[in-house]
Every structure is written in C-alpha cells, then in structure tokens.
Amino acid sequence: MNLKKGIKDIIIDPGFGFGKTIQHNFELLRNLSVFKMLNCPILLGISRKSFIYKTLNVSVEDSLNGTTALHSAGLLNGATILRVHDVKEAIETIKLISAYQHH
C-alpha cells in the first residue's frame, strides 16, 4: 500500500457495539465482506459483546458459545483478525474455518 505521511499498516475496525442496536450489529456482521474492497485486514471485535449475550438471554460469562458462532460467521465474511477474550477457543475456530475453506 503506497500511503502518504508514513502510514504503512491500516486495519479496518467496523466498530461493533459502539452506539449500535442489536440489529445494527447483526447487519454489520452480515455485510462485513463489503469492507474487503479496501484491501486491508478486517478486525472483528465482538467477543462477549452485549448483542450476543442479550440475544441469547445469557450472562456475559456464558456467552462463549455465541461468540464462537459469530466469530465463525465473521471469518466466513472476510474478517482476518479476531479481538478475543478466549484465546484457545478462538484459535480452534480459526483452524476449523480455515480447514472448511481450504478442503
């Protein structure tokens, strides 16, 4: 990427959660692939977000399964970086989605 002012690395963070409704967050996740046109890595920062645990009607502590499910959706829609609380589970999700996409 040839950028002015010495900027070399750009990561797209769509900003899940910040001032958005539950519906806004799901719409953003469904349309995440639109950001691929920018040719930059896409960060998915949804781990334990309220739109997950509120949709499932569980506590934040019990939202790992929902987080994992939506990490999968995000990876399939173009996310290349996950911001997570549960590293082991995220790595397993990445490995499985990668195997799914390449086998």
- 83 carries an active-site annotation: yes
One-letter-per-residue 3-state SS of 27-78? HHHHCHHHHHHHCCCEEECCCCCHHHHHHHCCCHHHCHHHHHHHHHHHHHCC
| The Cα angle at residue 15 between residues 61 and 42, in degrees rounded to 5 | 100
Q: How far is CA 21 from the centre of its chain?
A: 16
- 49 carries an active-site annotation: yes
Q: Which candidate in 30, 54, 83, 95 is catalytic?
A: 83
Q: Which residues are catalytic?
A: 49, 83
